[in-house]
Structure 1
Amino acid sequence: MPKTLFQNIVFTIIMALLMVYGMICYNVALARGGVENITFLLALHELPIMAPIAFILEFFVVEKLAVRLAFTFMRPTDRPQFITYATSLMIVCIMCPVMSLIATLLFKEPSFGTWVQTFGMNLPMALLWQLLYCGPLTRLIFRTLFRKQLAADAEKAAQPQA
């Protein structure tokens, strides 16, 4: 969806904030034995640490790798929605173990077993959160923010080439 560098930066910021906040809420709820009202406030304490890490990883490393991986089983002629889903799937498959490792090192008793457990608990939630909620919400917010620019780009693309 993003067409320019600025749009890609904005899109990645929105995605990182929503994805990281949702996953922190999930992990806080796991640690506290369930979701409580305080869960959403406690999650805000880790957000300023984890969101920039997620942004940097996603923007500079993971996005390009995920697109390459997605096109190992997708074709450019496939439906754009399926390409989006495949790319999102690959992003989660890369980001989840890395972010789980970082969270384990920063916020838990670091050990291989703790990281494996954290990753194992996070992967199903990360996939569902990304594909069903966070991804669509991020795209909606992005389309809303860039409505005029996206409409102008679509109009320009629809004009016959001379």
Structure 2
Amino acid sequence: MPRNKRESLIYTVLMCAFMVLWMSIYNVALHNGELSWQVVEEAWLGFPIGFVVAMFCDWFVVSGPAKGVAFGKLLKPHHGDLRKVITVSCCMVLPMVFIMSLYGALEVAVTTQQWSKLLMMWLTNIPINLIMALPLQLLIAGPIVRKLFRTAFPEGKVLA
């Protein structure tokens, strides 16, 4: 886990990149009904804007309240690191799924001009994305990004 603001920013960039790219591939594949190189290409083309939106929302909207809930209501000082990681991850994923599902629904509404379906697309996207995002975060992205982060930036190397 990051120990200061600089580490937190680097970690957030890595985590957002991983999650946005995979969730973009997942959503485009669901929309197209298949997983193919065309799906990966389409997801990659939409990645930059999705990444910027996710970074902004993570850093300025979700992170503070999520960590506040995690450390203020759900965790105690005696809880172990694994419980802290899982709790913070869950508190981050839930609101990010709501926000990014809305982003995805808006993206589809803009490209198809089906504004009347926006609310239903958003509400439909939430459980579909939660089913993928939470296990992805807890079982794959979290461990991989933490390992990459600490390999690239050993503790104490990134100054506050």
Q: Per the shorter chain, which TM-score range?
A: 0.7 to 0.9
- Could you tell me how far 1:115 is from its partner in structure 2? 0.6
Alignment map for 1:133-152 (pairs within 5 Å): 133-147=140-154, 150=155
The one-letter code sitting in structure 1 at the alignment partner of 2:41 is L
Q: Residue in 2 aligned with 1:97?
A: 98
Q: How does 1:22-33 map to 2 (within 5 A)?
A: 22-33=22-33
**Residues 29-68 of structure 1 correspond to what in structure 2 (within 5 A)?**
29-68=29-68
State TM-score, norm by structure 2: 0.88
CA, structure 1 residues 152+44, in 2 after alignment: closer, same or farther (shift >3 Å)? closer
Q: CA deviation at 1:42?
A: 1.7
Cross-structure match for 2:124: 117
2-structure distance, mates of 1:138, 1:85: 14
Q: Does 1 or 2 have the higher relative contact order (CA < 8 Å, sep 6+)?
A: 2
Runs (5+) with no aligned partner, structure 1 = 154-162
The percent identity for this pair of structures is: 31
Quote how far apart the aligned CAs of 1:39 are. Answer: 2.1
Amino acid in structure 2 at the alignment position of 1:90? C
Name segments (4+ residues, structure 1) moved above 2 Å. 107-110
- Match for 1:140: what amino acid? K
CA RMSD of aligned residues (A): 1.6
Structure 2 counterpart of 1:16:
16
Query: Which structure's CA Rg is the greater one?
Result: 1
Task: Give the Cα–Cα distance (whole angstroms) in 2 for the partners of residues 40 and 152 of structure 1.
Answer: 35
Post-superposition Cα deviations, 1:75-97, rounded to whole Å, max 9, x if no partner, equal 12101111110110011111101
- Are 1:78 and 2:79 matched, yes or no? yes
Shift of 1:125: 0.4
Unaligned residue ranges in structure 2 (runs of 5+): none
Match of 2:136 in 1: 129
User: CA, structure 1 residues 152+102, in 2 after alignment: closer, same or farther (shift >3 Å)?
Assistant: closer
| C-alpha separation in 1, matches of 2:10 and 2:129 | 25
